[in-house]
Copies of this chain bind each other. A is one copy, B any other.
């Protein structure tokens, strides 16, 4: 699939911006972002399954219930979660953003990310909305992506082209990740835009189906955030015939969506807090997709394996251990394990038992910054992929004193 520049502004009819408004003390860090569609867009979102939810989640759920939205506003530096006046503040953000852009507040997606349990002052946001709106432009995706970052060290934006009904459409996204990443039916903050015409119902179905294989298969630290959200707006500016049922055009849309979300998943995992390695586990031969997914996710979640990957130590016993407690229905006496990277691949376990292998070659493979654990279960035809990262000193450093 063809990747293009422009992130959330790649699709026609979308502008974005990011500014520093003062939620954060550090004036060099943008902390407020906006995305605006030229007209109303079909909209869908999936949210954290944590019982403790950020206040913006509740407001966005209400606003998006009709399947329509036109803009998004998001601050970083404060999650607006566990605050008595949280929903009031989140709704005020919708009103401020909507008033600036001439959009009804009910058509605004609102999100916050940062520390939990500290009241979010509305003043800096109220003061920041005007410059934020003024800064909207068709090359603003990067600034918006910067505005939603917390402990992220790298920008996460991507866009692709696809064809629906003979018309070229574009789909783009920005994301933030880093810590508290272990999505359950939704994930970190991800904003997706598309200029295809697609009905709210089909958009919701496409997004809900997609996250099961993408964001729900990412884990940085096993902690499911209170503020996870993936949202998408599709404004129809590409001029394709409305996608309102399954078929070739819907399939093309889903493929583009999957390309964008998979790319963002890898970016989120690779930029996990403190991470020095992207760790991908690919499971084949599972009895069912559920078994393959449980197995793959358990491997990328194992603290012990994550620490071993940090040390480039081919300690495959930790892979077997994680498979064994994953809850997947597997026969451990039929399991093969290999490690793979740009430097090659090496088999380390066959039929559940140790095989002779060169520790030197294994180390060379694991020193690459993107490594894969390949697991073959020999129990069926199902496959799954999960993404995570290594566990490093820097994860401890970042989270040992996050608030100060």
List residues of chain A with CB under 8 Å of any chain B CB.
49-53, 79, 81-84, 115-119, 179-180, 182, 184, 221-226, 301-304, 307-308, 310-311, 313, 315-318, 320-325, 330, 332, 349, 352-354, 391-393, 395-404
Contact = CB atoms under 8 A, between A and B. Distances in A.
A9 to B, nearest CB: 33
B399 A321 contact: no
Given A117-B320, A182-B325, 14 more contacts: A52-B321, A52-B332, A82-B354, A83-B354, A117-B349, A117-B353, A117-B354, A118-B354, A223-B322, A225-B321, A304-B399, A311-B399, A315-B402, A393-B393
A27 to B, nearest CB: 23
Contact of A323 (B51, B222, B304, B325): B51
A223 B303 contact: yes
Contact of A52 (B222, B315, B320, B392): B320
A304 to B, nearest CB: 5
B324 A51 contact: yes
Contact of A321 (B226, B301, B316): B226
Main secondary structure of the interface of A (DSSP, over half): loop
Nearest to A220: B303
Which of A179, A320, A398, A400 gathers most chain B CB within 10 Å? A400
Given A307-B396, A396-B391, A400-B307, A321 B180 contact: yes
Contacts of A83: 353-354
B325 A49 contact: yes
Contacts of A84: 353
A307 B399 contact: yes
A119 B317 CA distance: 12
A222 B301 CA distance: 9
Contacts of A315: 115-116, 402-403
A396 B399 contact: no
